[in-house]
Structure 1
Amino acid sequence: MKLNVTTKIFIGLVLGVIVGLFFTSAPDAAKTYIKPFGDLFLNLIKMIIVPLVLSSLVVGAASTGDVKKLGRIGVKTLTYYLLTTAFAVTLGLILGNILNPGLGMNLPAGAKPDVSKVPSIIETLLNIVPSNPIKAMVDVNMLQIIVFALFLGIAITLIGDKGKPVLNFFESLAEVSYKIVALIMSYAPIGVFGLIVPVVAANGPAVLLPLLKVIITVYIGVALHAVLVYSSLVYIFAKMNPLKFFKGASPAMVVAFTTSSSSGTLPVTMESVEKNLGVPKTISSFVLPLGATINMDGTALYQGVCALFIAQVFGIHLTLAQQMVIILTATLASIGTAGVPGAGLIMLTMVLQSVGLPLEGIALIAGIDRVLDMARTCINVTGDMAGSVVVAASEGELQKPGVKTVSA
C-alpha cells in the first residue's frame, strides 16, 4: 500500500518521539547524529521561502486584475487575523485565571533572561517599508518583502498590458517554486524525524514536569482555539466540515509543529490549502504569506498565559484593566512577531512591560519555550489556513476539497 505524504510525515513524527525518549540520557548524541537531517530539511525550506513569497504575492496581487478587489480581500484578511488574535489572547487569559499555572512556583534566585531590545509599535510600522528591497530579501525580512511584492503586483495591474512580461516572469518563477516545494516535501518525513528527536531528547519528562502545568494550559488553549474558532469559521462561512478542514490542513500542521516556524512552513501551507482545501492561488498567494508574518493566534494565546503565569509566580495580582491592556498589546505585538522559532519569547517582553511585570520571569519560560513554540506555531499556521478558506469562500472562489484548482 502506497502511503501519502501526510501519513509518512506523521509516522516520522511518532518515530521521532519514540527515538527521542531513548536519547534523553544522551541528548548530545541526538544533536550530533540526528539533528543534521532536520537541519537539512530546514535549509531546503529556507532556500525557497524568498522566491516563493515574492513570486506568489506578486502574482496574487496582480492576478486579481482589480485594485478594488485586492483592497477588499486585504481588509477581510486583516480583520480576520486581528479578531482571531484578540480572541486567542483572551482565551489564554481566561485559562490562566482558571488553571493558575504559576501558583506554588518560585523563580530561581538570580535568574536573568537574555532578551533582545523590543521594537516599539511605531518602529514596527515604519520598518515594514523597505529602503532596500534586495537587502530585505537577503535578510529574509518577511514584512518588507510582502510590502515590496504588493507594490509590484498593484503596479503591474495599474499599467495593464505593459506589465504582462513582468507578470509572466513571476508566474513562471512561482510555478518553479511550487515544483521545488514538491521535491522538498518528498524529504519531509525524514526531516521531521530529524527535528523532533533532539527536542524530545533535550526536554525529556524529568525536565518538563516542573513546568508541566504551563505546558498543559497552553496546549489546552490552542486545542480549544482550533475547535471553537477555526471549526466554527470554516463551517459558518465556507460550509466546510471541520474534520475535512483539519485533515486537509494536517501536513502543514505537522511541519509547523516540528519546525516551530510559520515562515518555514509556508511552502507546505500553500500546497495544503490549494490541493486539499480548494483555495485558489489568487487567494492563497495573498492571504498565506501575509498570515505567516502577522497572524500569530498561538503566540498571542501563549503570551496571555505566560503573562499571568509570571504574575502569579511573583505574587502580583493583575486587574481586569491590566488584562485588557495585555489583550491589546499582545494583538499588536503579534503583527511584529517574526515567523521563526523563538520570536514569541522576545515579543513577550513587550507584553510584560505593558503591565509592569518583571522581565526576570522570562527565565522560567525560556526553559520550556521550545515545547510551547511547537504548539503555538501549529495553531498560527492553522489559523492562516482557516483564514484562506474563509476569505476564498467570501469571494465565492472556494472549490470543493479534492477538486483541482485552476492557477491564475
Structure 2
Amino acid sequence: MTNEATDAGEKKAALSLQWQMLAGFLTGLIVGLIVYMTAPDARWVDSVTTYVTGPIGQIFLRLLFMLVIPLLVSALIVGIAEMGELRSLRRVGVRTLVYTLIVSGIAVAVSLLLVNLLRPGGGVDPAQAQALLADAGQGAKAILDRGGETPSGMEALLNIIPQNIVRAMADNDILAVMVFALFFGIGLVLVQTKETQLLLSAMEGLFEVTMRLMGIVIRIAPVAIACFMFNLAAQFGWDLLIRLSAYVGVVLLALGLQMFGVYSLLIAFLARRSPLRFFAAVQEASVMAFATASSNATLPTAIRVAEDNLRLPRRIARFVLTIGATANQNGTAMFEGITVIFLAQFFGVDLSLSQQLMVMLVCILGGVGTAGVPAGSLPVVAMILGMVGVPPEGIGLVLGVDRFLDMCRTALNVTGDLVAATVISAGEDDGRQAAQA
C-alpha cells in the first residue's frame, strides 16, 4: 500500500508540474506578445530580459547541463550492461541492441528528412534571429568560440572516439562521451565478476541520484519557461505562434510515419503478422503510454499485452520490453532530431550535412540512454543545442507544447517496444526451427 500511495503521489505531482509548465508557457507568451505590440523598443524591456528573465533561464539551463553528463553516462552504461545480465538471453540481447540501433537510425533519418523538406523553423527575420543568437547563453557561446570550424569528414569520425574522456566531459563533447559509455557498458557485459556487479550497482545508484536531482531542477521549469517565452515573444511576436504550429505538425507527421509506416512494414515482413491485428492487440498499452507519458510506468501493461494478447514467449517479451523501456525509444530520438533542426532553422544557424549526421548519431545514442519518464529527453535536447551552436534557451520555445508531444512520442516508444519484442520473438522461432532441422 505504501509503494502504491507513493507512486500515485508521484504521478499526481508530475501531472501538476505539467500543468504548471503549460501555465508558465502561456503566461510568458501572452505577456511577451503584449510587450511586442505595445512597447517593442522600450528600454525597460531590455533591462528585464538582461537582469531578470535572462539570468533565471540561464540558471535553469546551467543546472541541466551540470547533471546531463552523469545522467546520460549512467543511463547508457546501465542500459547496455543489462542486455547481458542473463546469460541465457545473451543472443537475444545482441539482436535487441542491433535491432534498436537500426530502427532508431531509420526513425531519425525520417525525422531529419521531413524537417529539412518542410522547414518549419524557416522564414524568420534573419536580423532578429542573429540578434538573439548574439545574446545567446554562455553554453552556446562557449561552443562557438571553442573550436572555430566544425570538423568534417574523417576528422569528424575520429573525433567521436575520445582521447581523454575527462576532457570530453569538460568540453561537453556529448557524442564522444556517449561512445565511451557505450564501450564501457559493453565491457560490463563481457566481464561478469563480483567487482563489475558492484560497479554496475554504483552506476545504477548514480543514475537514481541524478534522476532525483533532475526532478528537483525540473520543478523550477515553469518559471524558466515563462522567462524563455517572454524573451522570445517580445522579440518575435506573432511569427512565433506560426512557427510553433508548424513544428508541432512536423513532429506529429514524423511520428505517424514511423508508427503506421515503418512499424507496419516490420510487423508484416519480419514478424509475418497482420499489422491491423497487431495494432488492435497493443491498443491498451499505447493508450496507457499516451496517458502517462512514461515508458516505465507503462511497462507492466506492455508486458501483460505481449504475453496475453500477442502470445509472445515470456522470457523474450519480458527481456526485450524491460530493456526497451530505456533503450528503444524511437519517438524520443525523432523528437530530439526534429527539435534541434527546427531551432537551428528558427535562429538562422545553418547546419552542414556532417553536423546533421552528428545530431543523428547523438539522437540514436540518446534514445538508448534517455530515461523513460516524462520530459526525460529535455537534458539531451539542451545539450545537443549547445553542441551545434544554437542558443540553449531556445528550448523554451517548445517546452509549452512538450506535454502533448511527450504523450504522442511515448505512445510510439511503447508501441515500438512491442514491435521489437514481436520481431525478436519471430527471429528466435526461425532460429530454433533451423537448429532442429
TM-score, length-scaled by structure 1? 0.60
- Please give the alpha-carbon distance, in whole angstroms, between the structure 2 residues aligned to 1:264 and 1:113: 36
Give the counterpart of 2:267 among 228, 234, 237. 234
Residue type at the aligned position of 1:331: I
Corresponding position: 1:95 with 2:128: no
Corresponding position: 1:335 with 2:371: no
- Please give the alpha-carbon distance, in whole angstroms, between the structure 1 residues aligned to 2:198 and 2:396: 34
Give the counterpart of 2:279 among 239, 243, 246. 246
- Please give the alpha-carbon distance, in whole angstroms, between the structure 1 residues aligned to 2:311 and 2:255: 25
Contact kept in structure 1, 2:139 and 2:392, CA below 8 Å: no
Residue type at the aligned position of 2:375: G
Residue type at the aligned position of 1:301: M
- Please give the alpha-carbon distance, in whole angstroms, between the structure 2 residues aligned to 1:209 and 1:268: 38
Corresponding position: 1:326 with 2:359: yes
Residues 123-182 of structure 1: CA distance to partner in whole angstroms, max 9, x if unpaired? 755588664749948975899xxxxxxxxxxxxxxxxxxxxxxxxxxxxxxxxxxxxxxx
Residues 99 and 243 of structure 1: is their aligned pair in 2 closer, same or farther, counting only changes over 3 Å?
same
Residue type at the aligned position of 2:350: H
Aligned to 1:339, what secondary structure does the other structure show? coil
- Please give the alpha-carbon distance, in whole angstroms, between the structure 2 residues aligned to 1:90 and 1:364: 23
Contact kept in structure 2, 1:130 and 1:136, CA below 8 Å: no
- Please give the alpha-carbon distance, in whole angstroms, between the structure 2 residues aligned to 1:137 and 1:223: 36
Structure exhibiting the larger radius of gyration computed from Cα positions? 2
- Please give the alpha-carbon distance, in whole angstroms, between the structure 1 residues aligned to 2:122 and 2:296: 35
Residues 244-270 of structure 1: CA distance to partner in whole angstroms, max 9, x if unpaired? 111111111111112111111111111
Instruction: Give 1:349 shift.
Output: 2.4
Corresponding position: 1:80 with 2:99: yes
Report the count of equivalent residues. 280
Residue type at the aligned position of 1:76: R
Residue type at the aligned position of 1:121: M
Instruction: Give 1:306 shift.
Output: 0.9
Aligned to 1:396, what secondary structure does the other structure show? helix
Q: CA RMSD in A?
A: 3.9
Instruction: Give 1:71 shift.
Output: 1.7
Aligned to 2:377, what secondary structure does the other structure show? helix
The match for 2:301 is 268
Instruction: Give 1:295 shift.
Output: 1.0
Q: In the TM superposition, what are the counterparts of 1:253-332 in structure 2 within 5 Å?
A: 253-332=286-365
The match for 2:178 is 121
Contact kept in structure 1, 2:136 and 2:391, CA below 8 Å: no
Contact kept in structure 2, 1:61 and 1:286, CA below 8 Å: no
Residue type at the aligned position of 1:307: V
Instruction: Give 1:208 shift.
Output: 7.4
Corresponding position: 1:70 with 2:89: yes
TM-score, length-scaled by structure 2? 0.56
- Give the gaps of 5 or more residues in structure 1: 1-19, 28-56, 144-205, 399-408
Residues 132 and 322 of structure 1: is their aligned pair in 2 closer, same or farther, counting only changes over 3 Å?
closer
Residues 18-75 of structure 1: CA distance to partner in whole angstroms, max 9, x if unpaired? xx9xxx9xx9xxxxxxxxxxxxxxxxxxxxxxxxxxxxx99x976xxxx3x5221111
Contact kept in structure 2, 1:238 and 1:389, CA below 8 Å: yes
- Please give the alpha-carbon distance, in whole angstroms, between the structure 1 residues aligned to 2:404 and 2:136: 20
Residues 305 and 122 of structure 1: is their aligned pair in 2 closer, same or farther, counting only changes over 3 Å?
closer
Residues 259 and 137 of structure 1: is their aligned pair in 2 closer, same or farther, counting only changes over 3 Å?
farther
- Please give the alpha-carbon distance, in whole angstroms, between the structure 2 residues aligned to 1:130 and 1:382: 33
The match for 1:189 is none
Aligned to 1:340, what secondary structure does the other structure show? coil
Residue type at the aligned position of 1:352: L
Residue type at the aligned position of 2:395: I
The match for 2:257 is 224
Corresponding position: 1:104 with 2:123: yes
Residues 319-376 of structure 1: CA distance to partner in whole angstroms, max 9, x if unpaired? 2121111111111122211001001121112332343333122121222211221111
Residue type at the aligned position of 1:78: L
Give the counterpart of 1:380 among 413, 422, 425. 413
- Please give the alpha-carbon distance, in whole angstroms, between the structure 2 residues aligned to 1:84 and 1:221: 14
- Please give the alpha-carbon distance, in whole angstroms, between the structure 2 residues aligned to 1:61 and 1:303: 29
- Please give the alpha-carbon distance, in whole angstroms, between the structure 2 residues aligned to 1:141 and 1:283: 30
Judge which range, 238-247 or 360-369, deviates more.
360-369
Residue type at the aligned position of 2:342: F
Residues 113 and 234 of structure 1: is their aligned pair in 2 closer, same or farther, counting only changes over 3 Å?
farther
Residues 374 and 208 of structure 1: is their aligned pair in 2 closer, same or farther, counting only changes over 3 Å?
farther
Instruction: Give 1:305 shift.
Output: 0.9
* Percent of residue pairs identical: 37
Aligned to 2:252, what secondary structure does the other structure show? helix
The match for 1:371 is 404
Contact kept in structure 1, 2:121 and 2:243, CA below 8 Å: no
- Please give the alpha-carbon distance, in whole angstroms, between the structure 2 residues aligned to 1:99 and 1:280: 42
- Please give the alpha-carbon distance, in whole angstroms, between the structure 1 residues aligned to 2:268 and 2:203: 42
- Please give the alpha-carbon distance, in whole angstroms, between the structure 1 residues aligned to 2:200 and 2:357: 38
Residue type at the aligned position of 1:372: L
Contact kept in structure 2, 1:298 and 1:377, CA below 8 Å: yes
